[in-house]
Structures are given as C-alpha cells and as structure tokens.
Amino acid sequence: MSIEKYKIVEGQVKVTYELALGRTWSHFYDCFKEGKIMGTRCRKCSRVLVPPRSFCPRCFEDMDEWVEVSDEGIIETWVYVNMPFFAQETKIPFISAQIRLDGCDSGFTHIVGGVDMSDLDKVRAAVKLGGRVKAVWSREKKGSIRDIEYFEPVK
Amino acid sequence: MRKVAITHVAQSSGAESRESLMDFTYKVNKEILDKAGLKREEVGCIIAGSADIFHSGLSCANAYDWDGIGAFMKEGSRAEESVFSFIYGCMRIMSGRYDTVLVTAIVKGSENPDNDPITCFYGDPFYLRPLGINESSVAAMQMRQYMNRYGVTEEQCAKVAVKNLGNALFNPYAHVKKRVGLEDVMRSRRLYDPLKEMECAPKSDGVVAVLIASEEKAKELTATPAWLKGYGCSMDYFNPGDRDLLNGQLKAAAARAYKMAGIRNPEKNIDVAEICEPYAFQELIWCEQLGFCNEGQGGELIDSGITEMDGSLPVNPSGGVLATNPYPARGLYRVAEAALQIKGQAGEHQVGKKVKTALAHSTHGFGGQCHSVVILSA
Amino acid sequence: MGKSVAIIGTGQTRHGRRQDVCYPDLVKEAVEAALEDAGITLKDVDGVVLGTMPSMMEGVSSTHFYFAEAMGSVGKPVLKVETCGSTGQSIGHCGFFWASSGMADIVLVVGSEKMSEGDGQATMNTVFDPFFQRTFAAGAPGVFTMQSMEWMYRFKIPEDKGREAAAMISVSNHDNAMDNPHAHIRTRVTMDDVKNARIITYPVRLLDVCPASDGACAVIFASGDKAKKICKKPAWVKGIGFRGEEFFYGESDKAIWMSATEAAKEAYSQAGIKDPLKELDVAEVYNPFTYQEMIFYECFGFCPRGKAPDYVLKGTFKKGGRLPCGPSGGTLCTNPIGATGLIRMAEAALQVTGKAGARQVEGAKLALSHAMGGVDQFNGVTILGSEQ
Ligand SMILES: [Zn+2]
C-alpha cells in the first residue's frame, strides 16, 4: 500500500450559548450605562475587586459591599497585539493592558487607545508601565465591556 | 488501604438559575463547608468535576471553576466525569496525604446547547460524526435491539419514566417535576423512535458537592458517615459497531466494585441504587447487568414493583437522571443521593427500608461506553 | 502514609507535524513505546489516565472515548484529568495517587495533542471569561508578554539585559534540542537570529516562542513494591505540588507568581530539598516563552528575585552549568500542549535513570519537572529521584 498524499478533512464547528452574568455582574454593567465602574469590597481582607465578585476567592466570604472606583488608573502592564487569530474579537493591532484603577486592588483588563499605532516606537513613547490612563466612554452605552471604548494616556 | 467516607453533601436547587456559573458554584460550596464547620483553608484538597467548552462555553473549565470551588492556592485538580472526580478524591485520601477532600461537580445546562449536539462531538470527525450519530440515536438503536432480543415491551421501558418522575416529586433538588402516567410517556413525541421525548433526560443546571474524609476525620465530622466500600470502572470499544450494545462493560465495572466490597448477591446485599439512566430503558438493562435480575428480565423487574420507592430494591428514589440531568455532574449526584440514603437524610424521598448498603452508578458515552460503580455503606 | 511510587517506563512519539498518522494512532505510538520501555504488556496495566487540551483544541470532545483502543484502556478503569496547560503534570500526579492509594499497582498515564489540526490561540482565548476579558485577550503570547513586562518593570531589569538573557535561553534550548531525537524544532539559532526575529507581541519575537506540535507521551507509574520487582532502575516520585490562583488575570501578582512559588515549595518540602540550586541536578521547566522561563527560575528558588537574567548570562542553566535546564530542548522546541507537562516528567525520569542518551546530564540523581496552565493560573511541579 502506498499513499501519495495523506487526506485532511476540513471542518468548522459552531454552537451557541446563553451565558448568565447573574446578579453581581448584571449590576456592574447596569452601572456602566451611567458611566460608573463599580467594584465589591471583601469585609475580611478589605480588597476591592473589579470585575466585582459576589464572593472573595481568597476568604471565601460573601462580597456584598459595593464601591465605586475611579475610571482612571495606572498601567500595570501592557502588550502590543499584532497577531491575528480565529474569532478574535478586537481588530489588530491593539494594545491590551492591565489597569490598576484608583481605589481598586486588582488589575482591570481593557485596551489602551488614542495613541498613534502606526509604529511601535511611537506606541512605546506613549504607553508606559506605571503611566496614568483614563477611560474614554462611548456615547451610546449598552451595558457591556465596550461601553468604555478604550483607556487613554493622561497628558 | 485507608478507609474513606462521605461526611457531607450539598446540592443546588433543581430549578434553572440565572446566577452566573461562578456564583452558582460558590453557593453550594459555601453551604457544604458551613455544614461541616470547616473553613476553606482547612480542607486538604479540592477536585472539580466539570466538562469543558461544550458544557460551559469556556475552555479548560477548571480555570473558571477554581474560585467558586474554593480552591485558591490549594492543592487540587479536575476530572471530566464527576464520578472520576469522586474516586480521584478518594485516592488522594487513601494515599495518606490528605484527611479531607472536597469534590464538586458543576454545570449549567440551561446555558448550553442541547445534549444531542454536544454528544455528537464524541464521534470521530471522519466516520461517526458526519453520520449524525449522537448519544440519543445510539440509545434508540440499543433500545430496539433490547426489545427485540428479550421481548421487553415499549410500555415496560416507559414505566421507568413514570416511576422516576414520580419519585422526583418528593425530591426538592429535582429539576423536572411533573406527574406523568404511562399514556403520557407513550404518547410523547417520538424523537428517536422507539425512544420517546419523555424517556430522554432533560438538560439541567446543577452543582453538587461532596465532602470526603479519612476514617479518623470522618468520625470527627459526622455521626453518619457513608463509607466507600467498593469501586469499579470499565471502558468499552469506541465504535458502537465494534461491541454488543446489550453486553457492554457494566458487568466488568460492577464485578470490580462487588469484589472490593465483598458483595456476592447484589440483589440481596444492596438496599438502594441510584442508577444513571439518561434514557428510560437503560435503567432496565443496567439493572440486569448489575445483577439485580437475570439477563432479559428487566421488563419483569419493573413490572414487579421491586424497584419502586417502597420496594425491596428501590432504584432512583431521587428521580434519577430522567428528572435531573446536569450532564457531567450527574454521576456525582448519584453518589451524593446514595450517601444521603445511608445517612438517612434524603427527606421525603428517603426509602422505606433501612439502608445499610447503597449503589451509585454513572455512565457516559455512546450506548454506555464507560461505566463506573460505587458502593457505599453505613 | 500511602505507598511509595515510581516511574518504570516512558514513551514519546516523534513530535512535530504528524499528518502521517490520525490522532488515535499518534497516542498509540507513545503508549507502545512506554510499554516497551517498561518491559510490560497491556495485561499488566490496572488503570489508564488520559489528559489532553479541551475539546475546542481537539475537535473531538471527551477524547477518552475516541482513544479507548489507542491507549489500551478497553476493559480497564480510566480517569480523565485535565487542567489546561498544566494537564501533563496533573495526569502524572493522578497516576501517582492512583498507585499510591493501593487501588492499582500499575497505572498508564497518557497525554497528547495534535496542534496542527486545531487552533491553539483561538482555544486559549476561550479560557478567558466571556463577560470581561475575552474581548481583549490575545491568546497565550499576549498574556505572557504582559507578565514578562510587569516582571522586568518590577525588578528594574533593563530591557537590553532582559533581551540578551532571553535570547540566550532560546539559543541554548535550540542547541539542546539537537540532542533530542523526539524534538520538533531541530535547528540551531544564533543570538542575532533571536534578536532579529519577527515580533509576535512586543518584546517577544518568533524565536522566543514555542512551536505548535503534534505529539504524545506516555508514562507508567507503579507502586514501590511492584516497581522494585519488575524494574531495574525506576525513577522515584519524591515530591509533588500543584497550586492555582484566582481565575481573573490581574487579581494576583504575576511578577511574584504565587502558584509557581508555592507548588515548588510544596514539592521541595516533600522531597526534603532546602537549596534547590545546589541539590537539584537537572530541571525540565515548562518554557513556552523565553522571558517567562526566567520568572520560573526565580519562583523555584534557583536564584533571587529579579536576578534570573544575571544567572542566565553567567551560564548557570546551560548544559554543563550549575543547574542545566531543559536538556531536552524544552517546551520552546516541542509543544504538544496536553502532552508537554508529561514530557517534562518523562525527560526528568530519563535523566535520573541515566537513560537520556545524548542529552544526559552526567550523574543526574535529582530532577525537577514542571508545567503551567490556564491564564497564568496553575502550576504543577514533580521532583523525581534515582533513590527511593
Ligand atoms: Zn477577602
């Protein structure tokens, strides 16, 4: 038996989900519509987490105290993404970042925008670790992560 | 080998939940720790039972599960089928390294695609899947063969659904709560003839947590431990066409569990059984293979009433999988229910007789490709 | 305590792009090699553990069904254990516990991946939650880059120094892979090649990153008594540790990386290791990214925090150095994800039993193996030794 070329079957799979955000995360996005970023505070370790949690993963206690955090913060770390892949939700190139919002104890993942993306050196001049950024809210808010268009370096 | 016991059980309400999967998970885990009077930090290790993307829309399900099961910075792992998770947790105690293990199984069926498109992906991409084979279609073929080979009737198969959905009316944690008669089942839609709609399990939301402990610790934590006495598991060939669908690996799995537990006459020695019957007739076949009756006698078994809640060998007093089917979690539900029967804490669905030994069974795959059997005792 | 446990055989496929075999046949190749290495047959195996990446990567769900024959599990008990990228370590740990519990004497553990058939980065993205982070995620490179940047910033590591050390890691892993007949990428690279390679996610370049490989690995665990009876030179499991931190990336400090630090600490305490740099003879660190490998060195106590680049530049972790890391060429040259963590364990076993051929570290007696999974969430460590 000789095989000239091994056969390949191409396939794509699509299935649909209806994923519940539940009480805590629904409230978080309701507040987005008013331009507010809300976190929850743990009564035991007193950390404030964004996204808010209904319980503290460390203390394993309910977290029902809501705290408004700033829509401004510092960049903990960032990445310039220029790698395309299937089902990517944000168009490349983009800058993904961890932002420590003022009044919050965890990093909030979002994108940094409002900078010249045409070359990497310009990006590196504008986006700095430890640099301050502020949310740019979209005009029409729908209660989703996209209600913040991006975070912009504070001049 | 170190002794292992189930000390506590907690489960979510049977209703569909609009809570996020993370919060849904947390509530049940918080409840079981409170019941046991343990802090998260005091638990030895934590094992999740959950399936990935098709059952949650998330890959590497354990990543998302981790917070809700209380596993932050703890030793832990995840097994896909929840009875796998259970026995893996037991092994960790037997190894002498842990005194307590929390095992949690999780799924929100209400958010997922239906069972049929999901089980379709068990099929290989070149042969079975293009043919549209799924768990239900293989089950229907198995049912036709069963009726044909042994003369079991469609009505006898349908009776399983009547019995189990009837039992579910007494179980506050059951999903489907509907009083049904034989006619209702027989007249329900023929989705995969000869299988009818009411003979197929729904898809459900469910979190179930089981706390297991070493002998010393178990005695400290509860007055009513349910001891692990036996375990057996066996895997069959992949292609349904390569096997006799009416003579699979359950006998081998049961033989292992019975040997370990010292059970010679299962029909007499076992007081109650929680059996995984995603399709009504399967309860009959599995009962035969577990040795509750002779080969081909499943129809007579259900007719005799022995497996009713007040019979001599009640099967699925909880309502079984036909009432509640959180797919990857359903195996641990069987174990949890068997433990509750032993502990005498099954409430309204506690069986009439005194329970000393209980059997829990789990299966998944086409026509029952893999079976696990757990024996618990007082 | 439960029974002591040893590894009595390992097997690997030829890793790479394997369109010459279907997925189950790839698995079978590793299983047969492991059985042959252990000198046993399937009849001797009491149970089988399988782990792969999730269904989205596999294109088939619940692969323990599909691989039933290939992994020799028909008529046997199975367990399917998975923890994302750390799966390879987790299934090894499961093999350990199964044999240690007394429920089985011999356990076959199988990890596999056919990366060429699926989409690794799209799969990684679905590990992120669908409500907050998935939208801006950029697969594994995005996350690892953010982590590396944070680490360099925290410890004030000059960019040039980090770049130089990372390039050196790439060069030495590629050199090592030349000695490993199983490795996927077997080409030598120079420092300049690495530094001038295409940018993937700044500052990470193509040669800082692992390939996507097809491959499988099988490892056979036996209870101590059994191992002594049937194996001349088993590799003893001395210590295991596994830790996971919070799900959301950003909640815990990834420059310090608690899960990696604590998993190693746990394994060390079981193995009685106090000074890893001195006591360990070889390490197989999970290194899909050069920069990240340096963070692991620090978490595992091979050097002080922030000092990994200095140690790397001194040649501490190179072949012939004080603690050779990745003599197999590591994850950087071979990455069939579901198998990768188990390959690290198999390579460590080969080293402490003197069976590693051209990549043998002379006289190795104590070895560390490791894998990482999730969005920087999980770390598993196993210490193997030549003495019980
Ligand atoms: Zn807290």
Using DSSP's 3-state secondary structure scheme, residue B257 falls into helix
Statement: residue C331 has pLDDT above 90: yes
Phi/psi at C307 (5° precision): -105, 0
Using a 10 angstrom Cβ sphere, with 0-12 exposed, 13-18 middle and 19 or more buried, the burial of residue B32 is buried
Q: Which long-range contacts (CB under 8 A, 24 or more apart) does A8-12 make?
A: A8/C19, A9/B125, A9/B126, A11/B125, A11/C59
CA distances to B79, B293, B324, B338 from B334, in Å: 16, 21, 10, 6
Q: Which of residues 169-228 of C touch B (CB under 8 A)?
A: none
**pLDDT tens for residues C13-58?**
999 999 999 999 999 999 999 999 999 999 999 999 999 999 888 8
Q: Would you state the pLDDT for residue C368?
A: 98
Taking residues C189-206, what's their average pLDDT?
94
How far CA A39 is from CA of A54, A149, B10, B112, in Å, comes to 10, 19, 29, 28
Say whether B370 and C65 touch across the interface (CB within 8 A).
Answer: yes
Indicate the pLDDT class of residue B132, thresholds 50, 70 and 90: confident
Q: C277 burial class (0-12, 13-18, 19+ CB within 10 angstroms)?
A: middle
Where in chain B are the domains?
A: 4-113+204-221
Tens digits of residue pLDDT in B221-266 = 999 999 999 999 999 999 999 999 999 999 999 999 999 999 999 9
Mean pLDDT of C115-132: 89
Give the nearest partner residue to B121 out of C60, C97, C258, using CB atoms: C60
pLDDT at B51: 84
Query: Which of C82, C101, C103 minimises the CB distance to B78?
Result: C82
Distance B29 CA to ligand 1 centre (A): 16
| Confidence check: pLDDT of B95 > 90 | yes
Question: Which of B18, B54, B66 lies at the smallest CB-CB distance from A15?
Answer: B54
Mean residue pLDDT across chain C: 96
Residue C363, amino acid: G
Helices (H), chain C: 23-38, 55-58, 63-66, 87-101, 120-125, 139-154, 159-177, 191-195, 224-230, 258-271, 276-279, 290-299, 308-314, 330-333, 337-352
- Contacts of residue B351, Cβ cutoff 8 Å, sequence gap at least 6: B271, B272, B309, B310, B314, B317, B341
pLDDT over 70 percentage in chain C: 100
The first and second tokens of residue B95, run together, are 């190894």
> What is the signed CA dihedral for B91, B108, A49, A28, rounded to 10 degrees?
180
Q: What is the mean pLDDT of residues C100-125?
A: 94
| Residue B124: strand, helix, or coil | coil
What is the pTM (predicted TM-score) of this model? 0.96
Pairwise CA distance, residues C14 & C129, whole Å: 35
Residues B351-374: what's their mean pLDDT? 97
Q: Three-class SS of residue B317? A: coil
Total residue count of chain A as it appears in this document: 155
Angle between helices B135-150 and B280-289 (to 10 degrees): 60
Q: Mean of the pLDDT values across residues C270-296? A: 97
Q: Which residue of A has its CA nearest to C138?
A: A81
Q: Which of residues 81-140 of B touch C (CB under 8 A)?
A: 81, 84, 87-88, 90-92, 94-97, 118, 121-126
CATH says B4-113+204-221 is which class? alpha beta
- Would an 8 Å CB–CB cutoff place C294 in contact with chain A? no
CA distance C294 to chain B (A): 22
- CA dihedral C310→C313→C314→C318, nearest 10 degrees, is 120
The Cα–Cα gap between B71 and B75 comes to 7
Rounded mean pLDDT of C208-229?
97
Residues contacting residue B111 through CB under 8 Å, at least 6 positions apart? A17, A18, A19, A20, B21, B56, B57
Residues in chain C within 8 Å Cβ distance of A21:
131
CB contact under 8 A, B20 and A21: yes
From A63, A68, A67, A38, select the one nearest A51 (Cα to Cα): A38
Question: Which backbone phi and psi does C372 adopt, to 5 degrees?
Answer: -130, 145
Tell me the DSSP string of C201-251. Answer: ETTEEGGGB----EEEEEEEEEEHHHHHHH-SSPEEEEEEEEEE--SSTTS
Alpha-carbon span C296 to B212, nearest angstrom:
34
Q: Are residues A107 and C251 in contact, defined by beta-carbon separation less than 8 angstroms? A: yes
DSSP helix/strand/coil, C161: helix
Name the percent of chain A lying above pLDDT 90.
73
Assembly ipTM = 0.97
Would the CB atoms of C136 and A111 count as touching at under 8 Å? yes
CA closest to B125 among chain C residues? C60
Cβ-proximal residues to B148 (8 Å cutoff; 6+ apart), any chain: none
Q: For residue B54, what is the nearest residue in chain C, using CA coordinates?
A: C55
- The reply to whether C100 touches chain B by the CB within 8 Å rule is yes
Nearest to A109 among C20, C145, C249 (CB): C249
CA-angle at B204, arms to B202 and B205, nearest 5°? 175
**d(C-alpha B359, C-alpha B230), whole Å:** 9
Q: pLDDT value at position C374?
A: 92
Mutating which of C4, C49, C82 best tests the B interface, going by the most B Cβ atoms within 10 A? C82
Instruction: Give the minimum alpha-carbon distance from B309 to chain C in angstroms, rounded to a whole number.
Output: 31
Q: Which domains does chain C have, with CATH numbers?
A: 5-120+212-230 (3.40.47.10)
Query: B366 is written with which tokens?
Result: 């086409």
Residue identified by tokens 């046991």 is: B36
- By three-state DSSP, how is residue A122 classified? helix
CA atoms C246, C250, C254, C256: torsion sign: negative
pLDDT in tens, C143-172: 999 999 999 999 999 999 999 999 999 999
Q: How far apart are CA C292 and CA C288, in angstroms?
A: 8
Assigned token pair, A149: 């268009």
Set of chain B residues whose Cβ sits within 8 Å of the Cβ of C68: 235-238, 369
What distance in Å separates the CA atoms of residue C10 and residue C34, rounded to the nearest whole number?
A: 4
Residue B320's pLDDT band (cuts 50, 70, 90): very high
How remote is the C-alpha of A54 from its chain's centroid?
A: 19
Q: What is the pLDDT of residue C358?
A: 98
Residue B72 in 3-state DSSP?
A: coil
B100: CA distance to ligand 1 center in Å? Answer: 23
For chain B, first and last CA: distance in Å? 18
Q: Give the residue ranges of DSSP H helices in chain A.
A: 22-32, 120-126
- Looking at every residue in chain A, the average pLDDT score rounds to 92
Closest CA to C299 of C224, C368, C197: C368
Query: Tell me: the pLDDT tens digits for B192-233?
Result: 999 999 999 999 999 999 999 999 999 999 999 999 999 999
* Contact assignment for B370 to C98 by CB distance below 8 Å: no
DSSP string, C174-188: HHHHTT-TT-S----
Confidence of residue A1 (pLDDT cuts 50, 70, 90): confident
Rounded Cα distance, C372 and C354, in Å: 26
What was the pLDDT predicted at A88? 79
% of residues, chain B, pLDDT over 70: 100
Q: What is the CA radius of gyration of chain A?
A: 20
Q: Residue C101: what residue type?
A: S
CA distance linking residue C31 with residue C220, whole number of Å: 9
C84 chain-B contacts, CB cut-off 8 A: 59-60, 62-63
pLDDT digits (tens, 9 = 90+) for A51-107: 999 999 999 999 999 999 999 999 999 988 887 877 778 888 899 999 999 999 999
Alpha carbon distance C71, C81 (integer Å): 15
Of A98, A108, A130, the CB nearest to C146: A98
B336, B105 contact by CB (below 8 A):
no
